[in-house]
Structures are given as C-alpha cells and as structure tokens.
Structure 1
Amino acid sequence: MSIIEQITQRIREHPLPSMVAFEILRTIEDEDHSLKDVVKLVENDASLTSEVLKMANSAAYYRGQPVTTISRSVLLMGEMMVVGVAICVSTSIIYQRPLDGYESPEGELWDHSLRSAIACRELAKFTKGKVNPGLAFTAGLLHDIGKSIISEFLVGSTKEMTDLCASREAADYIEAERRAVGTDHCEVGYTLAQKWGLPEMLCLALRDHHHPSKTENQYKDLVYTVHLGDIISMLGGAGTGSDSLAYTVDNEYEKYLNIQKDELSLILLKVEEDFTELKETLMS
C-alpha cells in the first residue's frame, strides 16, 4: 500500500467529533431556524451544556451577572461559537496527542489551534461584517487538524523538510511535505472535513489557509482571516514544532481585513489574555 493510500485509510478511520456539532451546523445553515432549535440540541447533550455554560461565564464573555441558561449563553456567544465549543469538547483528545512527524510535543497542537481560533475570532471584527467571529473561531480551531493524521507519515523526514525550507529549495513547509509524502496537512485536513460533512467554507479554510489567494472568491474573507490568525499564533510563540514560521505571509490580506499593523499587535495581546482562560475553561 502506498503512503497516499495509507493516509487515505487513516482519514477513513479517523473518529468523528460529536454529532451534536454537525447537527447544530446543519440547523444554523437553515435560514428558517430559530434560537430554540439550537438551544434544544445543546440541552440534549449534558457535557456540551456544561461546557457552553462554563464558556458563557468565562472572562471572555462575562458581563457582570452569572449566565444560567443555554438560551442566554447562545445569545451571548453566538451560534457558531457554540459549534466551536462542541468541536472542542469532542476533539480535545485528538489535539492533545504529540505530532512526532513535526517533533511537536503533547498538547502543542491544541495550544496552537486554540490561539489561532482566538486570533481568528478577533480578526473577523476587521472584515466589515463579512466573517462571523464564531465561524472564524471554528475555522481557526480546525485549520491544522490534518496534522493529526499526516504526522506519523512524516516521521524520519523532519530534517529533510526543514533543510528544504532553509535552502529555499521548497517554497514553504507545504511543498516540503508534498515532496516527503506526496500530499500535505492542508489537503489531508480538507479531505477529512469533507468526510465529516462540514460546510464548504470551512473545508476550504482548512485547505487554503497557507495559500489563500487560491481559494474561491466568495470565501476569501474567511480564508484570509484564518491565514493571518495562524501566523499570529506562530508569531506569539505557539507553533507546532518543525514547521513553525516556515510559511510566507500573503499581504493580500489587506484587501480583506481593514487592519493596521498596530492593531495586529493588540490582537497578539488579546490572544495571550484570552488563551489561558479559555484553555482552563475548555479543559477543566
């Protein structure tokens, strides 16, 4: 069996996150849905109910009075943020695993993904309302999920890949991964997201976040948001081992995000401020 065939087999075997997350996604894609529809789905899952209430009462959302109902939590956080929490609850074990092919220790993928999600949520506020902050959070959380599958096939190739990037023989780590195993973590993540039945905009955010100019025009606002959120997370020191900062920034992001350099620095600070709180909330 070829490496590509083995990777494809791993994708087929990869566990599904909680079906509640997908049920909520399908519900909110229906323009005729109501808040009650979302609340009912959350309340039918005891662990998700607990996590949503914890998140709504965390420092990131707290407004001076305790939040005691799911309906109030959803209003406060937004429906897409609830999807993000549902995915966190059901995939945190996957994110905690070490990425041996990237020489990345246990928990590092989780830290990078959560920081990226926070950065994406904040960056969405600079898209003139074109990107929902909760959607951006979810996309940021999922953007590197392909690494959880491809990592084992990159073991033994790490030095070769980093050398290719250092010598400029490979344009970035994506190209280095392709040279090593014939595909890359973005394509693997995209295929996995399609298997899970995620909306196309989320699938493309996973596939194109390192090369956002290649994505479909209608989704570029979201994909550039994830592109920059990923970079911000790495600049803050939260990468995933050998590939950290082995990518280029596409400055076309300025067409899609009305943001200045000093505001990017403020987002870095906001990520640091919210990260510990959200990590403790979601992992406690």
Structure 2
Amino acid sequence: MGNPRVDQNIPRSKKVLYKIQSLCEDVAINRIYSKFLPECRSGKLEGAIDTQIILNPVDFKEAIKNGEDCYVQFSRMTLEVEEKLIKMLHRFLEIHDILYLKDVLLTVLKEVINNSIKANAKRLYFKQKGLDIKNRDQYRSGMEDFKETVFGTEGTILGELHDAKLIVRVFFKALPDVLRLSVINNIPILDEELKKVEARLKKAYSYADIAEAFDDVLDDSEGAGLGLIMALMLFKNVGFPEESFTIDTDGKLTITKIVIPKKADQTEFSTQIANEIMEEVDNIPSFPENIMEIQRLCANPEASVRDISDSIKRDPGLITALLKLANSAGYITAKRIETVEEAVMIIGTKGINMLLVATGVQKILDARYKKFETIWKNSSRTAFYSQRIAMQMRKAKLAEFAYLAALLSDIGKIVLLSIHPDKIQRLSDLAGIKNMGDSNLLEEISLGISHSTLGSLICKKWKFNEALIKAIEFHHRPHMAAEKYKDIVYTVYLAYTFTEIETRNMRFEIVDEDALEYFNLTNKKDFELLHKILKEAYESYTSMKNQ
C-alpha cells in the first residue's frame, strides 16, 4: 500500500551514525546551554527589554557564511521576531543550496515555537493561579479557562513572559553532513505532553501517502497537530529519516531538534517524480525554427533590414507583436509605425531579439502549458518592473536582459506544476489549511529541485545567454550570484519582490537586506515609493495596451 516506510530504506550504518550524532549533539547542547538557565534566572537579559529580541551574533549573516553557530531569542512571536527568523533561515538554507525547504521548515519552526510559547504561558498561568501543573485534577481545572484567559482579547500573560524570564531560543548549527535547527525553551515538557507529541510524530511517519494523512487528520475532531503532521509528511517524502525530528527534555529545558541532511536519501516516490521532471524537460520543444532563423540574421552584421523583415513577414503573429512594440511608449516616433521594415529600424536587432525570445517562449507555453497563463501574467508584470528598474539605473543594455530574465524566471514553476496536476491540486488544498503558501510547495514535496534551478536548466536547453540563465537560477537568492551577474540578478529579484508583495507573499521586512542596500532602498518609504511608481506605470501601460 503506497511507498515503503522511509526508515526501512535507511542502511543500518546510517541509523547508527544518526544515533551517535544525536548523542554527541545532546552533549554539545548541554555544554552550550549550561549558561542558558542561569542567564535567564539572573536577569542578564535586561539589554533586550526594548525589543525583547536577542540576536547572537548580531551579524548573523557573516556567522552563517563562516559556518558559525547563531541564534535568535525572544519571549513571544511578533512580526519582528518572524522577520528575523525568516531572514536567518533563508541565509542558513541558501548557503547549502537547499532553499526549496524553506517554507516547510518555516512551517515546522513556527509550529514548534508557538507550542513552546504556549507551554511557557501555561506555566506562568498555572503559577499565577496557584495550581500545580503536575497534578492531574488541578491541570484539568486550570486548562478549562486557559485558552480564553491567555489568548483572549484581554489576556496579559503573553506580555508578561519576558519579565518572567520565560524565553524561547532558535539555534542554527551547521555540521559536516547535516544542518541542525534547535528550538529550546527554559521549562521542561511534562511527561503527558511529551507522550502526546511522540504519538503525533509516530503517526506522521506511519502514513503511506499524504492523501491518507489528509483524510485522517481532518477526521480528528481536535485537528490535533495538523500543521506538524503535514509538515513531517513532507519531511518523509523528501527522504528525511524519522530521527530528523525529536523533542526531549533534560529536566530543565525542552529541546526540539530538526536535523536536515545536506543530501536527502531519494525515496521511491521522489526518484519517480524527479525522473518525470527531467523527462518533461527533455520533451519541451526546441525553439521554433523560424524564430531561430531570425535570431541568426540579427546576429549577422551583414544581414540587411530587408533580410530580417522578409523573415519576420512569414509569421503573422510576430508581425503583430513587432508593430505593437514599435508603437508602444518605449519607442518615441514622429508617426505611427505601420510597416515591418520601419519597425525593424526603430526597434533594432537587440530589441527584436528580446521580442523573439518572448514570442518563442509564449508559443511553447501556449501549446503545452496553456492553463498556467496566470503565472505567465505575473511574470509579465515582473518583467516590466525589471526593465524599468534597469532604465532607472541608466543601464539600457541591462534593461533588455532584465526584462527577459524576469519574464522567464518562473518557467521552471510552470513545468513543476504540469507534473501530476491532480496530485498537485490535492497538495495545494493541504497547503491552504495552514497558510503554508503554494508558491514553492511542489519543490518541498520530494523533488529536491527549486523552480529557479529547473528554469535555468530549461534555458540552457534553449542555449540562452549565460547572464540570462544565472539571473533565473539566482532570482530567489541574489547575493549567491557571482559578482559579474549582480546587476541583472538583483534587478530581477527586486522586481520579483514587488510582484510578490502585490500577491501578499512578501513584505518589506523580509526582503533580502543585501538587495535593499544594493539599490539604496533600506528606508521603507523609499522602497514603497519606487514600488508605487512602477505599479502606476504598469497599470498605465496595460490600459493603453488594451485600448
């Protein structure tokens, strides 16, 4: 029934290695956090009272780059805490090229963090009520009003956690073969609570497939552990062993560990899907021959305007696109352009080549991926923004490449979404339950490849310019690009960010800081002003286009 359990596919030697590693990590954690409780109890956190957030080291980006440990510490989950957490996780994963795990790991982390804060709040609540949390009858009595009192509109407990020295620390550590995320709170988990959590973990890894988990969890009247179970199912499909997620206590701290193999074992499911993706890439048609012929003419310095025009005239769709472009706001002319020859002279070979690439891709998408035109529309908006940003930088040559790179940035996503659309819809429904966001969902199921990497592979197949390929490959992790590609990669990233903000998948506080510094947009008002200008320009452009 479905796929075999993941742990059955893990060699005994690897299980032993995980066990030894886990024991070593426990020793390391006890050593590292030996100061944790005294620090909390002695009130040495006074420096953090204003923000109630501690970053150690403050320059976590440099620490992660150098393979050093770092952590963020707080008492309650706020937008500022979430901002720091997302930025740290993003940097931590992208250094090891596993950024496609970000959404799943963030979901798990937030679930664990919220549970940790809830546990801290529960201890403070019981203390204030004068109840013994370990006494079963008193526990039941206290829990009757716990949620309403603590999480209700007039609840004050959460605001008192910091002064009560009840804190949560999220710790990032890179080891030779694995990455480890630890969530530590400075109260021990109760035995009964630990048993419940362990039962949920065991349940998550017992399902044969994600659909079975979906039905079972929704039948649970409490909806208990829904987010955690679904996220751990994704862990399983990625190839993470059951030992990847553990919760334990040393009697003083509660420690949740997430161990991420830098290279996940390929399960039968993930291997099958990966093969289907590569087969899909192989089956993507080459660029239309007539477009490739015009590209060759544009690259030939001896080709005349007439040669190029005659070749374009064989494609009615291309004629329409060319004349529309020549008469657009991007080209200032004394009169309306009505012939192909005039359009070729106005636009130039570089502009024509840009149009050819866009038209060629559009033809392939219309023929093979018509139902994903919404993604293509978003890409068109991003492309417009990208071109305008480059023009603001007074880099005309960059503007052409930036437009194309942004236009093609999500082509990998379209291919991913074409694999088993029935399964994808099911998974998208799942994602909606916990607001996991489906933009990168497929990449996290078990594919082990991001849509940006896949997009770069497709563009290599089409023999596109190297700068174009790199812009697509790194548009989610701009500062990982080589120095010579920074201009185009950062331009596409910024344009993508504006589009994502409009679809509510991004906000200023979690935009890559390096990109903001690159464009001198660290001030939120400056950032929002540029976005407003670009958005209004695009709306004006589309309204003229549709007249």
TM class, shorter-chain normalised? 0.7 to 0.9
Structure 2 distance, partners of 1:16, 1:33, is 26
Task: Identify which range, 180-189 or 200-209, moves more after superposition.
Answer: 180-189
Structure 2 distance, partners of 1:176, 1:6, is 13
Other-structure match for 1:224: 490
Kindly indicate whether the alpha-carbon contact (under 8 Å) linking 1:193 and 1:203 is maintained by their aligned counterparts in 2: yes
Structure 1 distance, partners of 2:414, 2:298, is 28
Selected match of 2:360 from 87, 90, 106: 90
From the superposition, tell whether residues 255 and 5 of structure 1 become closer, same or farther in structure 2 (CA, over 3 Å): same
Structure 2 distance, partners of 1:151, 1:203, is 20
Other-structure match for 1:200: 466
Kindly indicate whether the alpha-carbon contact (under 8 Å) linking 1:79 and 1:134 is maintained by their aligned counterparts in 2: no
Task: Identify which range, 109-118 or 59-68, moves more after superposition.
Answer: 59-68
Structure 2 distance, partners of 1:163, 1:215, is 35
Selected match of 2:536 from 269, 272, 275: 269
1:5 paired with 2:275, answer: yes
Query: Deviations along 1:203-259, whole A, 9 cap, x unmatched?
Result: 11111111111112111100111111112223334x8xxxx4499522322454466
Cα displacement (A) at 1:88: 3.5
Task: State the secondary structure of the residue aligned to 1:98.
Answer: helix
Cα displacement (A) at 1:130: 7.1
Kindly indicate whether the alpha-carbon contact (under 8 Å) linking 1:80 and 1:138 is maintained by their aligned counterparts in 2: no
Query: Deviations along 1:184-212, whole A, 9 cap, x unmatched?
Result: 21111111000011111111111111111
Cα displacement (A) at 1:81: 3.5
Query: Deviations along 1:142-198, whole A, 9 cap, x unmatched?
Result: 11111121013471333566678859xxxx955872454221211111110000111
Other-structure match for 1:250: 512
Structure 2 distance, partners of 1:81, 1:253, is 27
Q: CA RMSD in A?
A: 3.5
From the superposition, tell whether residues 50 and 194 of structure 1 become closer, same or farther in structure 2 (CA, over 3 Å): same
Other-structure match for 2:318: 48
Other-structure match for 2:456: 190
Task: State the secondary structure of the residue aligned to 2:464.
Answer: coil
Kindly indicate whether the alpha-carbon contact (under 8 Å) linking 2:428 and 2:441 is maintained by their aligned counterparts in 1: no
Task: Identify which range, 178-187 or 71-80, moves more after superposition.
Answer: 71-80
Cα displacement (A) at 1:264: 3.0
Structure 2 distance, partners of 1:17, 1:276, is 31
Structure 2 spans left out of the alignment, 5+ residues: 1-270
Other-structure match for 1:103: none
Kindly indicate whether the alpha-carbon contact (under 8 Å) linking 2:501 and 2:507 is maintained by their aligned counterparts in 1: no
Task: Identify which range, 20-29 or 54-63, moves more after superposition.
Answer: 20-29
Structure 1 spans left out of the alignment, 5+ residues: 100-106
For 1:101-250, what aligned pairs fall within 5 Å after superposition? 107-129=373-395, 131-153=397-419, 155=424, 156-158=426-428, 166=436, 174=440, 177-237=443-503, 244-245=505-506, 248-250=510-512
From the superposition, tell whether residues 212 and 45 of structure 1 become closer, same or farther in structure 2 (CA, over 3 Å): same
Structure 1 distance, partners of 2:401, 2:310, is 20
Structure 2 distance, partners of 1:270, 1:121, is 12
Task: State the secondary structure of the residue aligned to 1:15.
Answer: coil
For 1:70-85, what aligned pairs fall within 5 Å after superposition? 70-85=340-355
Other-structure match for 1:15: 285
Structure 1 distance, partners of 2:299, 2:402, is 15
From the superposition, tell whether residues 28 and 90 of structure 1 become closer, same or farther in structure 2 (CA, over 3 Å): closer
From the superposition, tell whether residues 274 and 158 of structure 1 become closer, same or farther in structure 2 (CA, over 3 Å): same
Q: More helix per residue: 1 or 2?
A: 1
Task: Identify which range, 41-50 or 224-233, moves more after superposition.
Answer: 41-50
Structure 2 distance, partners of 1:178, 1:122, is 33
From the superposition, tell whether residues 256 and 26 of structure 1 become closer, same or farther in structure 2 (CA, over 3 Å): farther
Counterpart code for 1:269: E
Structure 1 distance, partners of 2:452, 2:507, is 14
Structure 1 distance, partners of 2:397, 2:444, is 31
Kindly indicate whether the alpha-carbon contact (under 8 Å) linking 2:417 and 2:442 is maintained by their aligned counterparts in 1: no
Query: Deviations along 1:46-80, whole A, 9 cap, x unmatched?
Result: 43233201221234535341113445434544544
In terms of Rg, which structure is larger? 2
Other-structure match for 2:209: none
Kindly indicate whether the alpha-carbon contact (under 8 Å) linking 2:298 and 2:353 is maintained by their aligned counterparts in 1: no
Cα displacement (A) at 1:138: 1.3
From the superposition, tell whether residues 157 and 196 of structure 1 become closer, same or farther in structure 2 (CA, over 3 Å): same
From the superposition, tell whether residues 18 and 214 of structure 1 become closer, same or farther in structure 2 (CA, over 3 Å): same
Q: TM-score, normalised by structure 2?
A: 0.42
Structure 2 distance, partners of 1:254, 1:28, is 37
From the superposition, tell whether residues 38 and 249 of structure 1 become closer, same or farther in structure 2 (CA, over 3 Å): farther
